[in-house]
Structure 1
Amino acid sequence: MTTTTTESAGPMAPIFRSMDKTIGTHWEETMTEMSRTMMVSLNARLLAQMGLSQDTTDPIAFLDSACGAGPATQELFKAVPREVLEKSEVICADGSPMMVELVERRIREEGWDGAKARVLDAMDSGLAENSLTHIVIGLGLHLIPRPDKTIKDVVRILKPGGVFGCITPHIDHIGWVADVKSAFASFPFHAPFEEKNRAQVHDVGRWYDEHWVQRYLQENGFEDVKTCLESGTVSVRDARHWLDVFGPVVALIVSSEWSSELREEHGLEELRGLIGEHLEGKVHGTESVTEENPVLTLVKKHNLINTPSNFSNATAFNENDQLFLSNLTGKVEELSESYEKAANQQDHSARSGLAIAGWKPGSDPLAQAVQWSSIDFEYANPPKKTSQQSPVFNANTSFQRWADKNNLVHDARGFATYLQEEAKALLEKNIQVKLLLETCKWRTTRVRLRVRLWSSV
């Protein structure tokens, strides 16, 4: 087999290195959330396929290349015993200094002891020959302009008998394409959108074709190449969340397929607004940036003591010591995934529905604490008395309608004070109080994600 390579393979690098422009000022939170949610299962399965698990006993030399927010390293610190990683070398590398700074912060805050973040070019890392036992490139080879150079560099720096693993989108990974196409068609001006394969952004190879990839890796010296098709869904909460997840792709299309005149006339901020307006009819609940939840407004009006919740600063302890933040967030992710599965079932109690979906806290104290915080505390009822659908209507009537603020009222007068004070004011004005109940309707959109996972020895 032969492949044709070109020197000008794609303009995507600047787009994916400027997340503050393509996503917004909250890009770090978005990338970290994606790492902790949609990227978890993909990377966990890839590492298992590469032989990295709790049974790993020998120190490793691990490179997370084109690491992004570090989802592969995140799962590595869950999969491999800490005592092994303490003796190992773990490198998180990305060509974007912004991404490297984000990963450095995660290393500090999430307890990835011993891991180091470096700015390196995946096409020419400059690392020593035969120096690494494991290399991962997660969702990168379809974006890197010259993946052929990247593979040559992997072969150079991987030790004999080392393991390489990668994740690339399958050709059927097109759920987001329909949204972009329909959004562009709704613009009040002509917005070019080429009909073409969008599983990769360059023309070097066929990284969306598992048969081609297997042959290509074998021809480049890899043995025992194994492929695995993973199917799943990416949950999109609302139009703003869709823009956070797919905003960089939209920016890439505009950068590569629109004329400079059209780009100058219609900037990314305008496009984000138009796409958001279009998606309101497809994805329920466009979160308001400024419109405050009326309950919080009334709480402030009547001077009830309240404190903004900061879940990124949560702390958890077991019977011995403080836990790493990743232990807590990992357990929260497990519960969230179980809730997603339960949402598609016939309604049960939260306890029954979550158990059917695989959530069984049993004697795990951390799981019990997460469940108590998410159900008993949140809904003032234990799981056996709470509907499994409670999080759905709770989110739709709060975060997906009003500004993303979550304040805890802890006033000695009690939370109901604001209702009592409002009722008193209305009665003093002799206004007849009526309660109007409206039927709420919502829709959710799920973007289907199909990817291929490859690992090679």
Structure 2
Amino acid sequence: MSTGQLGTGSAEMDHQYGTPERLQTRASFWAPSPPGESPQDVAIKVLREANVHKVLEIGCGRGDFASRMRDELGADVLATDRSEAMVEATRSRGLVAQVIDATELPYEDASFDAVVAMWMLYHVPDLDRTLGEVRRVLTPGGVFVSVTNGREHTADLLREVGLPLAETQFMTENGEEVLRRHFDDVARTIANGKAVADHATARAYLSTFVPEVADQLPVYDGERTFTGSSAVFVAR
């Protein structure tokens, strides 16, 4: 989404993440990727190869990825989010979760051997301060894994309702430049996806971002395919 739909304002953040249901609607829009190819799969592979043990996730949402890290990696995961509703949803899955502000992490230096941020850095009000905090709480040699979307993410759907293409403070196109302000070693892996959705599903997806434009989606029969554009960044 554009900066206006994926920005840092409190009102839009409360709309998008005030309840777990909106995030579930957004997540269920995407069709399953072949095994090993989704951004989440790529991130899990990186963390497994790094042999991580103690992981901090900022912007945990409903706890989906935190659960994967716990179950698939056997990691000690601390999940965090600014939304109380998201933290409660994560705790309901048996995970340790806390309400925190990512721009001021309440943890000691070198506390985690991995930090994870899944589709959330475009939201933080002070990106460089957040990344400085991430670097501070990482152990020497620790890994930071972040996932974000690119400019062309759901471009075909956005054009249908007259929305501009994505331009955010942290996206596929500028993520490496941003991360190199804080990390020496930065790598990017493109991991695109697709959605196969009927009109009602596509409209519901749009409404989680900008409710007033969802009704502008032209009616269509059957299902249509919409393309995603995502990237996984690994920084050390």
Check whether TM > 0.5: yes
Matching of residue 248 in structure 1 with residue 208 in structure 2 = yes
Cα pair distance change 1:215/1:198, threshold 3 Å? closer
CA contact (8 A) 1:132 1:162 kept: yes
How many Å separate the matches in 1 of 2:58 and 2:147?
12
Matching of residue 31 in structure 1 with residue 31 in structure 2 = no
Hey, what does 1:160 align to over in structure 2? 140
CA contact (8 A) 1:234 1:448 kept: yes
- Please point out which of 100, 113, 118 is paired with 1:120: 100
- Please point out which of 187, 193, 198 is paired with 2:166: 198
The sequence identity of aligned pairs, in percent, is: 18
Hey, what does 1:178 align to over in structure 2? 159
Shift of 1:68: 1.3
User: Comparing both chains, which one has the higher relative contact order based on Cα–Cα distances under 8 Å and sequence gaps of 6 or more?
Assistant: 2
Q: Which structure 1 residue ranges, 5 or more long, are not aligned? A: 1-8, 22-26, 109-114, 182-192, 252-267, 285-442
CA contact (8 A) 1:130 1:160 kept: yes
Cα pair distance change 1:206/1:132, threshold 3 Å? closer
Matched ranges for 1:137-286 at <5 A: 137-173=117-153, 174-181=155-162, 196-200=164-168, 205=169, 207-209=171-173, 212-220=174-182, 222-239=183-200, 241-251=201-211, 274-275=215-216, 278-279=217-218, 281-282=219-220, 284=221
- Please point out which of 76, 80, 98 is paired with 2:69: 76
Cα pair distance change 1:102/1:172, threshold 3 Å? same
How many Å separate the matches in 2 of 1:30 and 1:10?
17
How many Å separate the matches in 2 of 1:36 and 1:447?
13
How many Å separate the matches in 2 of 1:79 and 1:20?
26
Shift of 1:124: 1.4
CA contact (8 A) 2:180 2:186 kept: yes
How many Å separate the matches in 2 of 1:141 and 1:64?
12
Shift of 1:34: 5.0
Letter in 2 for 1:104: R
CA contact (8 A) 2:179 2:186 kept: yes
Hey, what does 2:3 align to over in structure 1? none
Matching of residue 446 in structure 1 with residue 225 in structure 2 = yes
String of CA shifts for 1:201-226, please: whole Å, max 9, x gaps. Answer: xxxx45331xx432332331x23311
Q: When you count strand as a share of all residues, which structure comes out higher?
A: 2
Cα pair distance change 1:34/1:172, threshold 3 Å? closer
Shift of 1:95: 0.5
Cα pair distance change 1:37/1:247, threshold 3 Å? closer
CA contact (8 A) 2:192 2:229 kept: yes
The runs of at least 4 aligned residues of structure 1 exceeding 6 Å deviation read: none
Choose 1 or 2 for highest CA Rg: 1
Tell me how many residue pairs correspond in the alignment: 225
Question: What is the DSSP-based 3-state SS (H/G/I as helix, E as strand, rest coil) of the residue aligned with 1:75?
Answer: helix
How many Å separate the matches in 2 of 1:10 and 1:29?
20
Shift of 1:248: 3.0
